[in-house]
Amino acid sequence: MIRKPTRPVLVLQYTILILGVLFAVYPLWFAFLASGRAGDRLYTLNLLGMFLPTEWTFENYRAMIFDRPLLTWLRNSLYVAGVTTVASLVITTSAAFAFSRFKFYGREFALILLLAIQTFPGVLSLVAVAQLLTALGLYGKHEGLILAYTTSTLVFSTWNMKGYFDTIPIELEEAAMIDGCGPVQSFILIALPLARPALAVTALLGFLAGWGDFIFASVLVPAPDTMKLVVPGLFSLANSQSVPWGNFAAGGLLIILPTIIVFLMLQRFLVSGLTVGGVKG
The average pLDDT across 221-233 equals 88
Q: Is residue 61 part of a domain?
A: no
Instruction: State the pTM of this model.
Output: 0.85
Please give the pLDDT value at position 159.
Answer: 86
HSE (CB half, 13 Å, CA atoms) of 85? 17
Write out pLDDT tens, residues 245-264. 888 899 999 999 888 888 88
Counting residues of the chain whose pLDDT is more than 90, the rounded percentage is: 30
The average pLDDT across 201-209 equals 88
Q: Is residue 152 part of a domain?
A: yes
Q: Is residue 279 part of a domain?
A: no
Q: 196 with 167, same domain?
A: yes
Please give the pLDDT value at position 280.
Answer: 46
Q: 82 with 202, same domain?
A: yes
Q: 49 with 88, same domain?
A: no
Write out pLDDT tens, residues 24-57. 899 899 989 988 888 777 777 777 878 888 888 8
Specify the higher pLDDT residue, 197 or 86: 86
Q: Is residue 242 part of a domain?
A: no
Which region, left, alpha or beta, applies to residue 106 given φ > 0 means left and ψ of -120 to 50 means alpha?
left
- The residue among 153, 135, 154, 156 whose CA lies nearest residue 144 is 135
Number of domains in the chain: 2
Q: 82 with 49, same domain?
A: no
Q: 76 with 39, same domain?
A: no
* Confidence band for 220, pLDDT divided at 50, 70 and 90: very high
Q: Is residue 73 part of a domain?
A: yes
Q: 215 with 81, same domain?
A: yes
CA-only gyration radius of the chain, Å: 23
Q: 208 with 180, same domain?
A: yes
CATH at 254: 1.10.3720.10
Query: Which amino acid belongs to residue 166?
Result: D
Give the DSSP letter of residue 273.
H
Q: Is residue 214 part of a domain?
A: yes
Q: Give, for 229, the enclosing helix (H) or strand (E).
A: none
Q: 24 with 50, same domain?
A: yes
Q: 159 with 125, same domain?
A: yes
Query: Which amino acid belongs to residue 112?
Result: I
Range of the structural domain that residue 103 is part of: 69-237+247-272
- The residue among 115, 117, 142, 145 whose CA lies nearest residue 130 is 145
Q: Are 100 and 165 in contact (CB under 8 A)?
A: yes
Q: 34 with 81, same domain?
A: no
Q: 87 with 174, same domain?
A: yes
Q: Are 198 and 77 in contact (CB under 8 A)?
A: no
Please give the pLDDT value at position 119.
Answer: 79
Q: Are 110 and 95 in contact (CB under 8 A)?
A: no
Q: 177 with 257, same domain?
A: yes
Q: Is residue 60 part of a domain?
A: no
